[in-house]
Amino acid sequence: MTALFSKRRDGLSLSEALPDRSLFVLVAMMGFLAALTLAGASGAQALAARWAAGAAQLVTIQVPDPDQPASPPGGASLPAPGPQAQGNGPAADQGTDQAAPPPTVAAPNAGGLPATLPPEASTGPGAPSRAQAVLAQLAGLPPGTEVHRLSAEEISRLLAPWLGASDRSALPLPAVIRVTLPQGAYLPPTLEQNLAAKVPGVIVEQNALWSERLHSLANSLLTCAGLALLTVGGIAALITGQAAHTGLATRRDIIATLHSLGAPDGYIAGRFARRTASLAFGGGLVGALLACPPLLFLLRMAAPFGSMTPTVDSPDLTTAPAQAIMASFDLVPQGLLGGLAALPVAAALICWLTTQVMVRLWLRRLP
């Protein structure tokens, strides 16, 4: 007796009514696109966050006439550095300072001068140089702050693209101090004011502006990625709607009969929705899997630019492809992995919802 009943319980025969292969293939293609978009968004977000975080923590301080006394006896301050001061000031006579070993100190957060200061930076006993005065101010920064005065070689390397390898001893170069703040720390709001008061002419370059710009860039990229994903989802919905419409058209009489037998709208819509959702899940899964090889390849290439595992020790794709692929999975950010895993579910959900709406709207034509 059981053989009398088939697996087909309602006569809808949706495996024949819905254009299975085309819906499956189209959803797979969109899943592929969505996976790539997701990867792009994830990469952009990670890089932008890293850049923005780095920029936000970095402060550069330029000290013109670094070896001049900070506050000459009598309280008279130095004239602000300007074109008239260049080349004929005392700094010009002290080019040897540029070769001094740079101090790299951790802010002791206990006040006072850093332990190592360039001894030749002082212009005389009891009279700290302007650079020393700045370093002394920086000693009060939060614990973990790294203060580094660039050496002459480092400054030369910075200037090399513009000035070449020529002798720059005659140039009145400022001292450059790089301050790297620990995560979550900020410069005291009064620091710039204090420095200006004690060492006039000091230029403090905070990178907060760059950080904001990078944040804006990251947000723009994420918005673009979001719009791309929405577009892909919208196209998926349209295609599913079309497929459902085709299925309804080919099964019009059967649906009318089922309806007249007392099948609720939810029953008929549910049958269609389950069918399209299962097709979309399969398509989304295939699309996400197809996107994995190019994504892993891109991630391997991008690894040196991020904080991911360096590729130096990674197995080679040509000699040990299996190990290389397994190692590449370690490079996939967790968020992206989650996104890829969610793709088939999202595709199924979109198609399920679209079909439910389409079929229910169509059934509204019947009483």
Partner 1 sequence: MIRLDHVSWRRGRKDHAPVLSHLSFNVPQGGFRWLLGPSGAGKSSLLRLLHVETLPSAGRMEILGQAVGEQTKRAALVRLRQRIGMVHQDYRLMPDLSLADNVALPLRLQKRGEDEIQTEVEAILKWVGLGARMGVSAAHLSGGEQQRTAIARAIIHRPGLILADEPTNALEESQAHRLLDMFAQLSAMGTTVIVATHNETLIRRLARPALVLEAGKLVADEGHPPA
Contact status: 4 vs partner 1 (CB under 8 A): yes
Output the smallest distance, CB 42 to partner 1, in A: 45
Q: Which one among 36, 254, 345, 353 touches partner 1, defined by CB under 8 A?
A: 254
Output the smallest distance, CB 261 to partner 1, in A: 6
Please, which residue, 6 or 334, has the CB nearer to partner 1? 6
Q: Write the CA distances from 329 to 122, 176, 285, 309, 358, integer angstroms.
A: 56, 42, 17, 11, 40
Contact status: 1 vs partner 1 (CB under 8 A): yes
Distance between CA atoms of 277 and 93, rounded to whole angstroms? 80
Contact status: 13 vs partner 1 (CB under 8 A): yes
Number of Cβ atoms within 10 Å of the Cβ of 111: 8
Contact status: 6 vs partner 1 (CB under 8 A): yes
Q: Which one among 96, 223, 257, 323 touches partner 1, defined by CB under 8 A?
A: 257
Contact status: 365 vs partner 1 (CB under 8 A): no
Q: Which one among 76, 165, 261, 322 touches partner 1, defined by CB under 8 A?
A: 261
Q: Which range in 207-215, 224-232, 260-268, 278-286 contacts partner 1 by CB under 8 A? A: 260-268
The residue behind tokens 């309804």 is 248
Output the smallest distance, CB 18 to partner 1, in A: 14
Site for partner 1 in 234-253 (CB under 8 A): 253
Distance between CA atoms of 66 and 337, rounded to whole angstroms? 52
Backbone angle region of 245, left / alpha / beta, with phi > 0 → left and psi within -120 to 50 → alpha: alpha
For residue 177, what are the β-bridge partners? 61, 149
Distance between CA atoms of 228 and 158, rounded to whole angstroms? 41
Rounded (5°) CA angle 290-293-297: 150
Number of Cβ atoms within 10 Å of the Cβ of 308: 16
Q: Which range in 202-210, 223-231, 255-263, 291-299 contacts partner 1 by CB under 8 A? A: 255-263
Please, which residue, 213 or 259, has the CB nearer to partner 1? 259
Contact predicate 31/288, CB 8 Å: yes
The site for partner 1 (CB under 8 A) is made up of 1-6, 8-11, 13, 16, 253-254, 256-265, 267, 366-367
